[in-house]
Structure 1
Amino acid sequence: MKKQSNKTKFPASFRVPGMAKTSIALGVSTAMLMPMGAARADDDVEMKPVTVVERAFDHNPYAEPDAPYKAKKSGDERRTRPLAETPATIQVMTKTQIEDSGYTDLRDILDAQPGITLGTGENGNAFGDRYIIRGYEARSDTFVDGLRDPGMTIRESFAVEQVEVSKGPSSSFAGRGTVGGAINAITKQATVDYDFTKVSAGVGTDSYGRVTLDANHVVNDNVALRANVLYGYQQVPDRDPADRERKGVALSGLFKPTDKLDILVDYYGLRAEDRPDLGSWLTGTVPNRRPMANSPVYAQNGDFLTSDVDTLTGRIKYKITPNLRLTNLTRYGRSENGYVATGANASSTLTNLNLTTHSGWQDVDYFVNQTSLGWDTTIAGMKHDFIFSLEYTDHKVLNGLYEIGGVVRGANSPSQSNVPVALAQTALDRTNVTKNTANWDIDWQAKAISVSAMDTVDLTEKWTAFAGVRYDKTDISLRTRQAALPTGTQPPQGTINDYGSQNAGMWNSHFGLVYKFLPYANVYAAYGSAADLNGGESDVGSSSGYGGMVTYNGSAAGAKPEKTENFELGTKWNLLGEKLLVTAAIFQTTKSDVMEGANYAAAGTFNTGKNRVQGIELGLAGNVTDKLSAFAGVAFMESEVLDSWTAANVGKRLSNFADITASAQLRYQLTPKFALGTAAKYESEKYAGQPDTAAGFNATTGLYSQPVPAYTVVDAFADYRVTKRAKVRLNVGNVFNADYYLAGYRSGAFVYKGDAINARLTLNYDF
């Protein structure tokens, strides 16, 4: 016999409903390979051994079996077909791929993906993390299990099965915003399919320590409980005393009273606290403007960046008939975000520093209820998958400033000037930081009622059409107030500005047509739209150039919703027994009626902007060979401002936009026990500036004024299976210790530094 390869790896124990828990050994006897009832022709015939090529068993129900870097389907039930048959660019990072990478924060996971860049927070126009997809802001377009997650928090991956990034306008799925796309984190949930308990413990350089627990317990055929627990700490590599601490717990319970009814309840809690490092700053003049090299760490003893998150979600799924199902999701959540961060700048000689204080807190309360009816039927001989949805959301956000030593500090509040570099880490020890809700400065609320209808229909054996329409009736209200600022004597808080509300009904749609010209390959054409209401961002008040409300004569301006349209042509190849997905797409996204209003006072500036992003994106995910797994992609894009109230902006590129972004993660199973891998990411030069308006530009020199340099970073990892239950993994981040920068503030006052070289050793044990 020819030597065979059996690549399926079973868990050490698994459970099928109605059966006792069973243990399966990782081995195959020659007798098992004989056809049933077959007799030996010769008792002396020697059967050659079977080689079992081990791959990680992934409990993720959406992953492709035995292809740990490839997702088979979306966790969003509204996408009824496999990803290989869906007419859209949807990039999915599986749990196994995320674990191999060594990244744990969502910001780092997304930054390693093509077509995505980062912006700055901490008074760089956002709380928490700031993501940019295909050139467009997405900091408010993050979803958890298909429901919007409005708290601009630090987001962790310990309770995540996979992270999905839908590229292109997605308002028919996700509602307002979602101009460049949407991010959807699919969480780990209880299951009655099997028992397991997994513990992971890691240590590393820079005082790194991380422990996680993932345990699923099947009580009986109808009840299961799952718990995920996290504790992690590390100093920011080579940036002491900046550090990061994470504590988290995610609990879920599945109850199946009948064969038709599933009830799933889960709680998610995270306590994240960093001492933030605002990195370096830009110095010099173009064309020689660049980040200050060897900038000191100016994080102070009292600096912090915190996210406290609590959410409770209930899911009810009822199968009315085999072809008719009802799903209801209800979530209530609260997040409290806050930061006090020290910024610095200096002359090109780096003699003395000028320190500034950035401060802010944000309380977020949100409620959402989504009800969907799925109906699979045949009409005129064609199979239809209908999804009808009704959704109600109520989001409330209160922003404010901290009192530091009895004085309220805001963005860029002066702290000290001409501070010696040697004292930068110990100056301004802020031990008296007070959150006084009386010092609020932005009171924002958004309510929406949404209805949608979607259909996937097989027109013929080779042609499939996808279509959907959504209507959102949205109301956004805003009040602002000038909080007290330090001027020697504390002035009273300013008058409240009540801008009233801005409301509009917004229609959005998507359409896709897929032609399956081979059993494993297709081409598709797709259209999608998005819309965003005036004042859609919750953290910037009336700073309309950053998504805040455009106001006129003291009230919300009568601005139209911004409108975005996307056209995409692509192809998907599901190769090697559906273990490898190769994709290619060409796209053009045009955003019109852009609300440029920042710094303008005339009504004529409303809806005056228009811009465009176009490009090509290539990707692959899955098993390249029996031993090589890969996840890779590259995006070649260009952006252009087409219209603007400021004529000088026309023809310029968008801010925080990289023309080329690429990444690759490879894992090679050298032996059944030993695997090694590498990951690399590249991002071309980009330029800071105001979103949608244009990157900062120097008319005198004819050059962009706030450059963030291109970078390439290489990571490496290896793992070894010690026993059937125990495996160790070594991750080395930034192997060549590249000095690189992730994002820059519009003035160049600070640019985020990427992590220096670091190493982590992790033990994974399955009980």
Structure 2
Amino acid sequence: MSSSTIRSRKHSVNRYALVMAASALALPVAALADVEADADQKGTEVTIKGERHLPYKTDKASSPKKTEALVDTPQTMSVISKELLEDQNATTLVDALRNTPGITMQLGENGNTSAGDTFQLRGFSATSSIYLDGIRDLGAVSRDVFTIEQIEVAKGPAGSDVGRGASGGYINLVSKLPSLRAGSSATASLYSEGGERATADVNLPVGDTSAFRLNVMAQDVDVPGRDEVKNSGWGIAPSYALGLGTNTRFYVFAQVVHQDNVPDGGVPVIGLKGYNSTNTNAAIKAALDAAAPVDRNNFYGSVHDYEKVDASMLTSKIEHGFRNGWNLTNTTRYGQTQMDRILTGVNAITVPTASINDPTTWTVARTRQRVDQDNKIFANATNLSGSFETGAWQHDLSAGVEIAYESQVSVTYSTTPPGGTAPTIPAASLYNPVSDIVLPDLYKTGATSDGDSTTVSGYAFDTAKLGKWLLSAGLRVDSYTIKTRNTPASGAVALEAIEDSGTLASWNIGAVYKPRDNGSVYISLVNALTPPGSSNFQLSSTASSLSNAAFDPVETENFELGTKWEFFNNHLSLTAAYYATTAKNELALLNSTDLTSYIQMGERKVSGIELGLVGQVNPKWLISAGLQTLDTEITQGTTNNNSTGAATRWSPDLTGTVWTTYKVTPKFTLGGGISYVSEQLLVVNPATVIGTQNGLPEIPASTVFNAMAAYDINPRLALQLNVYNVTDEDYISSLNSGGSRVVFGQPQSATLSLKVRF
């Protein structure tokens, strides 16, 4: 597709001029800084709690369940450090996760859902497998990373680590906490497409053993390449610690985030490569199939659409180190996320018979959707870890108990007012939509979906060491109860009250051989279980739904064979692994001719290799890179069933990412990266799609280049320029399940940041 047909740059000149003007203004401000200030320099080592931390590379995961260093852990784990995020000026979880292969983004359901952080990890949904400091983080919202120290991505089924779900792994965000090492910073950024963002991170020791830390964020940013769509909001995260440097440490930390965004309903896929219309009128179909794409900037909603998110969280954590080397950790959290969103999405295209050859008369239907959702969680986790010996064997043990209550309440809305008739939602011009329009309001129908889950868990992990061998095993038992209460629109009686309870046993076993101190070869076998309704506590009595309480949990098992090595004085990590995951008890049709009878006989295999390289080649050269192949195959069951077929959609055969920086001079750093994603099929078998699917059958492959340049004016101030999508490639970020609407990837754009250390 040509840029001229789908690109509008009416603001770009003025906005780039604004960035250049801001750069000029920053220079005299920088000259006022104290050039003798003491500041951390990139490439130096930092020691925290006895562990070395280098830019881009982390030696050990944050969870006490992981008793060994990453090089000796028999599992693929990617750790994305805050230094990497800062170099890329990444601000959201979506941005951050582009640094690890095997994760793809989803647009949502076949309707017009804008689903927040919705991911697939190694071919399995990871939407409900996002954690904050090891505790599940609920809510279909877009997460900011201004409070995050690092992001840990565990690949492969991990039920023994985190419990239910985690079919393809999990994502754990680690919060920034106070330390006795004083240091503060602030960043102000201007965006070429319009908007500003500012963050600050202040860490202040307030005594010999106590410290206070404050992270704040405020932004008002236009989304590049999208008219009207913007992200605005603020966040504050205070934290306090007592007993730092002693055997007993106490942390209390909170987070309050408010978002006030204009959501994106996407654009029609007409005119894009592979587009196919199923219109029954031959002339109209021919016109649609030959039509030009719409301008990618087009906004088909109303300027009155909104997305308001309020998320708050309070956490306390106690750590105690016993004299014999054992450690006890207890974490308690209460969190609540409220989301209220009105979104306008695009749907069917109408071509008047009388003006088939006049695209200015073509229209696209608009649909209205309101999401009003409240998520809550209360959790307590206690862990005891330490080492002991049995004969010649040394054991590293981690054991604990967890209790969690989670709930989700959703309110249903309709454009039909109480006691009234459904209004007509005006269609939009396909090629020239008007956003300054008042569309029908949405009213409560009285229907609600109220679900909750209570889980009590116990686990134990043991790694036994003898010579060059490390043998590990772990077991987790979860006792859960899930309840769903659906109220109909009348509000009179409960339409459906369903309860499901049971016990899950998740396990892992592994063996690590260390041919040298700086390397390992490992083999592991793990599993994970996902009971019905566990992702959103919405059980069902429908025979074709895996959320039916009568069904058994879906089980995934993973075999992995890999090796990990550390080079250059353990500054650079190289990993390689082969994995094979089998999903059992998936829903499938009883046979290919009976399209109404379902049985849990479906089986699917996902396999491939993953390579990783992260750390310092030398003090001037940093790198983070990864590559993953992914092959999906239905090994049992019929592919005619959408429940089975949908599970492997959005699974590219190859994903790869590289980011690297080089300090050209003591003050000047250059960096850049490449992200590649191969084709992503809408369903498993393309033969059933091409020629019959209305819309797009796949997301085409894409290659995106990004770049950065940073200049340290003095030890206190630095300027950083990030340029995204350097070649201005037109690519699709996500496609909805029906193949009718897309969200495009970020076009060529830039951010200029002024960073202050004090």
TM range (shorter): 0.7 to 0.9
Query: Aligned runs of 1:481-520 on 2, under 5 Å?
Result: 481-483=487-489, 492=490, 496-520=494-518
Distance across 2 between alignment mates of 1:144 and 1:198: 23
The match for 2:627 among 617, 629, 634 is 634
Counterpart position of 1:385: 396
TM-score by length of 1: 0.84
- Structure 2 stretches of 5 or more lacking a match? 1-34, 277-288, 352-358
Q: Any idea what SS the aligned residue of 1:103 has?
A: coil
Letter in 2 for 1:182: Y
Change in CA separation of 1:625 and 1:320 when aligned onto 2, cut-off 3 Å: closer
- CA-based RMSD: 3.3
Quote how far apart the aligned CAs of 1:25 are: 7.9
Letter in 2 for 1:661: T
Quote how far apart the aligned CAs of 1:646 are: 5.6
Change in CA separation of 1:682 and 1:547 when aligned onto 2, cut-off 3 Å: farther
Counterpart position of 2:436: 426
Query: Aligned runs of 1:566-585 on 2, under 5 Å?
Result: 566-585=558-577
Is the counterpart of residue 661 in structure 1 residue 633 in structure 2?
A: no
Letter in 1 for 2:688: N
Quote how far apart the aligned CAs of 1:283 are: 3.6
Is the counterpart of residue 605 in structure 1 residue 598 in structure 2?
A: yes
Is the counterpart of residue 729 in structure 1 residue 726 in structure 2?
A: no
Query: Aligned runs of 1:121-160 on 2, under 5 Å?
Result: 121=108, 127-160=115-148
TM-score by length of 2: 0.85
Counterpart position of 1:241: 228
Letter in 2 for 1:671: T
Query: Aligned runs of 1:198-597 on 2, under 5 Å?
Result: 198-256=185-243, 259-283=246-270, 288-289=275-276, 292-295=293-296, 296-345=298-347, 346=349, 349=359, 351-402=362-413, 406=417, 415-417=425-427, 419=429, 421-429=431-439, 439-460=446-467, 462-483=468-489, 492=490, 496-538=494-536, 542=540, 549-550=547-548, 556-557=549-550, 559-595=551-587
The match for 2:104 among 101, 117, 125 is 117
Distance across 2 between alignment mates of 1:105 and 1:407: 39
Letter in 1 for 2:486: T
Distance across 1 between alignment mates of 2:60 and 2:68: 7
Letter in 2 for 1:294: D
Give per-residue Cα distances to partners, 1:5-39, cap 9 Å, x unaligned. xxxxxxxxxxxxxxxxxx99889xxxxxxxxxxxx
Q: Any idea what SS the aligned residue of 1:79 has?
A: coil
Distance across 2 between alignment mates of 1:545 and 1:284: 38
The answer (yes or no) to whether the contact 2:447–2:491 under 8 Å persists in 1 is no
The answer (yes or no) to whether the contact 1:356–1:414 under 8 Å persists in 2 is no
Change in CA separation of 1:177 and 1:547 when aligned onto 2, cut-off 3 Å: farther
Change in CA separation of 1:273 and 1:507 when aligned onto 2, cut-off 3 Å: same
The answer (yes or no) to whether the contact 1:476–1:503 under 8 Å persists in 2 is yes
Distance across 1 between alignment mates of 2:459 and 2:161: 8
The answer (yes or no) to whether the contact 2:67–2:397 under 8 Å persists in 1 is no
- Structure 1 stretches of 5 or more lacking a match? 1-22, 28-52, 484-491, 551-555
Change in CA separation of 1:321 and 1:468 when aligned onto 2, cut-off 3 Å: same
Change in CA separation of 1:234 and 1:659 when aligned onto 2, cut-off 3 Å: same
Quote how far apart the aligned CAs of 1:156 are: 0.7
Q: Any idea what SS the aligned residue of 1:232 has?
A: strand
Change in CA separation of 1:604 and 1:387 when aligned onto 2, cut-off 3 Å: farther
Distance across 1 between alignment mates of 2:61 and 2:543: 34
Counterpart position of 1:675: 669
Distance across 2 between alignment mates of 1:724 and 1:285: 49
Counterpart position of 2:12: none
Quote how far apart the aligned CAs of 1:416 are: 2.5
Quote how far apart the aligned CAs of 1:293 are: 4.5
Change in CA separation of 1:322 and 1:400 when aligned onto 2, cut-off 3 Å: same
Distance across 1 between alignment mates of 2:419 and 2:700: 35
Distance across 2 between alignment mates of 1:735 and 1:543: 50
Change in CA separation of 1:675 and 1:255 when aligned onto 2, cut-off 3 Å: same
Q: Which has the higher contact order (CA 8 A, sep 6+)?
A: 2
Q: Any idea what SS the aligned residue of 1:401 has?
A: strand
Distance across 1 between alignment mates of 2:708 and 2:244: 45
Q: Any idea what SS the aligned residue of 2:71 has?
A: helix
The answer (yes or no) to whether the contact 2:425–2:439 under 8 Å persists in 1 is no
Change in CA separation of 1:644 and 1:305 when aligned onto 2, cut-off 3 Å: farther
Identity %: 29
Letter in 2 for 1:242: V
Aligned length: 695
Distance across 2 between alignment mates of 1:543 and 1:344: 31
Quote how far apart the aligned CAs of 1:700 are: 7.6
The answer (yes or no) to whether the contact 1:62–1:75 under 8 Å persists in 2 is no
Distance across 2 between alignment mates of 1:285 and 1:728: 39
Distance across 1 between alignment mates of 2:554 and 2:484: 18
Distance across 2 between alignment mates of 1:305 and 1:696: 35
Give per-residue Cα distances to partners, 1:148-193, cap 9 Å, x unaligned. 112222211000000010000001001000000000001100112x
The answer (yes or no) to whether the contact 2:381–2:400 under 8 Å persists in 1 is yes
Change in CA separation of 1:283 and 1:233 when aligned onto 2, cut-off 3 Å: same
The answer (yes or no) to whether the contact 1:536–1:547 under 8 Å persists in 2 is no
Counterpart position of 1:6: none
Change in CA separation of 1:257 and 1:573 when aligned onto 2, cut-off 3 Å: closer
The answer (yes or no) to whether the contact 2:639–2:645 under 8 Å persists in 1 is no
The match for 1:167 among 147, 155, 158 is 155
The answer (yes or no) to whether the contact 2:499–2:539 under 8 Å persists in 1 is no
Counterpart position of 2:688: 698
Quote how far apart the aligned CAs of 1:745 are: 1.3
Change in CA separation of 1:239 and 1:738 when aligned onto 2, cut-off 3 Å: same
The answer (yes or no) to whether the contact 1:456–1:465 under 8 Å persists in 2 is yes
Quote how far apart the aligned CAs of 1:57 are: 5.6
Give per-residue Cα distances to partners, 1:308-334, cap 9 Å, x unaligned. 110101111122333222211110010
Counterpart position of 1:44: none
Quote how far apart the aligned CAs of 1:702 are: 8.8
Quote how far apart the aligned CAs of 1:117 are: 0.3
The answer (yes or no) to whether the contact 1:588–1:612 under 8 Å persists in 2 is yes
The answer (yes or no) to whether the contact 2:528–2:555 under 8 Å persists in 1 is yes
Distance across 1 between alignment mates of 2:50 and 2:306: 37
Letter in 1 for 2:464: V
Letter in 2 for 1:424: V
